[in-house]
Amino acid sequence: MAATQLVSDLSLPRNSHITILGVVPPGESSYESRLRAAFVQAEKTLGRKAAETESVLLYGHVAKQLIEYGSAHPPDLMVIGAKGLYATLKILLGGVAQQVVQHAHWPVLVTRPPYHGLRRVLLATDGSPNSRLATEYLALFPLPPQAEIQVAHAQPILLEETATYVHHSGPIAYLAPSMPLMADRPTASHQMELQKQRGRAILAETRGILEAAGRKSKGIILDGDPASQLLAYSEQQGIDLIVAGSRGLSAIEGWWWGSVSRKLVHYAHSSVLFVRTESEVRTELEDSNSK
């Protein structure tokens, strides 16, 4: 219902079509009546929107049915709750959301209850093509007029002694060989300054895309493990929605999804929007088959 309320708050175009999906898991036919009651409540909540709505009941494995339905009816956005009644059936909706985000080739918004509106939005960017895609998507996203946007770039910390990149916490994404600095190599402090300049450039480019679409924003650079920093900052600032690409720049392929995105799904106190496209999924499959 938090997901339903969020959709209701969006400034959707008048010709929007909203499909309300429910899935009856195998062997749980008695659950159908609860879903139909939820449909009625959701339709009442969405009734004031100038949009066409329909309810669709599916049967089978929850994540599989959602992914297959989305593949057959590609949406501009799929919204799913992070927690729900499936917990009474020992089906963790967080696990369902994780699977949908990982395999869907469309944007997925995981809603975290309790829902208090969309007042503060945090866009995570690392300068990658996927981050740019997320930025362009957010620039046109029908946020409520009062929503404020912050843009965050999280970067690893460079140790002065060894000039190696590390993260504060969580899995180490990349650790360069530790060796003494050579006379002809840039100093660690110089590399740190170059890193800061790159971070500022990423923020400027990202904010420029938003500004071109009429969206004002402010930027912030976070030092340390991206997932930990984004989670801590969003909680401190009372962020209502985190927006991120599904993949990003990393020394180890897949690290962004394997670490940052998974942590955001499970640990964020706010809702999280992952911008993902069919071309990304196709590329990942090709990369996986070539290994």
pTM, two decimals, is 0.81
Selected residue with higher pLDDT from 195 and 160: 195
| Statement: residue 264 has pLDDT above 70 | yes
User: Residue 136: what residue type?
Assistant: E
Q: Which two tokens stand for residue 56?
A: 């669709």
99 Cβ contact list (under 8 Å, min separation 6): 63, 67
Query: HSE-up of 208 (CA within 13 Å, CB side)?
Result: 8
**Mean pLDDT over each residue of the chain, to the nearest integer:** 80
Res. 158: pLDDT tops 80: no
pLDDT, tens digit, 9 for 90 and up, residues 221-246: 998 888 889 999 999 999 999 999 87
> What pLDDT is stored for residue 174 in this prediction?
37
Q: Which range in 70-74, 91-95, 179-183 is most confidently predicted, on average pLDDT?
A: 70-74
Q: Which tokens in the block code for residue 54? A: 């329909």
| pLDDT > 90 fraction of the chain, expressed in percent and rounded | 47
69 or 129: whose pLDDT is higher?
69
Task: Say if residue 127's pLDDT is above 70.
Answer: yes
pLDDT tier, 125 (very low <50, low <70, confident <90, very high otherwise): very high
pLDDT at 107: 95
Question: Average pLDDT for residues 252-276, to the nearest whole number?
Answer: 73
Looking at residue 119, what is its pLDDT? 96
What does the pLDDT average to over 82-106? 70
Higher pLDDT, 161 or 190: 190
- How many whole angstroms separate alpha carbon 155 and alpha carbon 67? 33
pLDDT of residue 184: 52
Q: Which domains does the chain have, with CATH numbers?
A: 2-111 (3.40.50.620), 120-290 (3.40.50.620)
pLDDT above 90: residue 180? no
**pLDDT value at residue 94:** 58
* Residue 186, pLDDT score: 60
Contact 107, 78 (CB under 8 A): yes
Peptide bond into 114 cis (omega under 30): yes
Listing DSSP states for 200-242 in one string gives: HHHHHHHHHHHHHTT--EEEEEEES-HHHHHHHHHHHTT-SEE
* Residue 19 pLDDT: 96
Whether 160 shows a pLDDT value over 80: the answer reads no
Tell me the torsion sign for CA atoms 8, 218, 226, 255.
positive
Q: Express as a percent the part of the chain with pLDDT over 70.
A: 75
- For position 255, what pLDDT does the model report? 41
Of 62, 112, 75, 100, nearest to 246 by C-alpha is: 100
Amino acid 85: pLDDT = 55
Give the count of beta carbons closer than 10 Å to the beta carbon of residue 231.
Answer: 22
- d(Cα 207, Cα 201) in Å, to the nearest integer? 10
